[in-house]
Amino acid sequence: MKRKPVTRKQSYNRKTSSRSSIGKFFRYLTLIVFIGLFLGGVYHYRRGLAYYLGFKKEKLSEKEIEDKRLSDVRNFQVLAKHEGKSIGLDVSEYQGKISWSYVDTLEQKYPLDFVFIRATVGRDRKDFQFKRNWIGAKENKMIRGAYHYYRPNENSIEQADLFIKTVKLEKGDLPPVLDIEKLPKNQSLDSLKKGLKRWLLKVENHYKVRPIIYTGERYYADFLKDEFGEYLFWIANYNFYRERIEDDWLFWQFTEKATVPGIERTVDVNIYNGDLQQLQFITVD
């Protein structure tokens, strides 16, 4: 009679048990790492979470809690890290008809000092709400500025002429802004840059003040930073990792999803790299 291979079976069971233990260890380790990352994230955004969820020390009414709405925790986190900086908006026809008399603070905590208003698009289109917004912001005693949305495939001089015809800057207004976000389809990058420079020069000669350039952070780094170093930049970056304004940015548009009294739809919020007094210093004389 043959004996059963007891020794081999025991060896197989030991190997299986060993692999099972190793698997349990790695699952346990993965769980610990995940919990650590989660708790680290909660700690990092503790101020924003507390505000967002309404866990503030002072007691708030139901209406106050309902009115205190930022689109996400990051918005409050960014604002909390820029205490003392001037805060403002930028608007266009996409915000509909704005009740300017109600536009005063963000989250009833951060005064809104300024607003950039879209005036023109390309060579032939005016923003439908520009005139109303331009007057409303002035009546609401906000520092106002106007911007032009540049279309890369259209004549730059015609675009500058439309902006000049549409926008009448007054003492105390912000410098004009060129908004460039798209790459050209029918021309080279060199041709695009020449067109941008023609727009900037014509507008500067008219208003006697150097315009500001608005663009995304990646666009700025890849196409504009080196050749347009003499200009001041207003940079858009909504990424979660970005929480502070860079030293060489004049303005930072950090969100497009904020809620503000008097504006029914979500709106962009911007931080000026200085306080209100410094903001007033760059306005038109």
The CATH number of residue 209's host domain is 3.20.20.80
Domain membership of residue 78 as a residue range: 70-281
Range of weakest confidence among 20-24, 122-126, 242-246, 270-274: 20-24
Tokens of 159: 């675009």
Per residue in 106-152, pLDDT (tens digit) is 978 899 999 999 999 999 999 999 999 999 999 999 999 999 999 99
- Measure the CA–CA gap between 24 and 210, rounded to whole angstroms: 65
Are both 184 and 227 inside the same structural domain? yes
- Measure the CA–CA gap between 281 and 285, rounded to whole angstroms: 9
Number of compact structural domains in the chain = 2
- Report yes or no on 52 lying in a domain: no
Q: Which pLDDT score is estimated for 55?
A: 38
Are both 26 and 97 inside the same structural domain? no
- Measure the CA–CA gap between 281 and 129, rounded to whole angstroms: 28
pLDDT at 8 over 60: no
Residue 86 near residue 279 (C-beta atoms within 8 A): yes
Are both 17 and 121 inside the same structural domain? no
Query: What DSSP state is assigned to residue 2?
Result: P
Residue type, 107: E
Are both 21 and 161 inside the same structural domain? no
- Measure the CA–CA gap between 99 and 252, rounded to whole angstroms: 25
pLDDT at 46 over 60: no
Q: How much is the pTM?
A: 0.77
Tokens of 36: 């650590």
Supply the residues annotated as catalytic: 90, 181
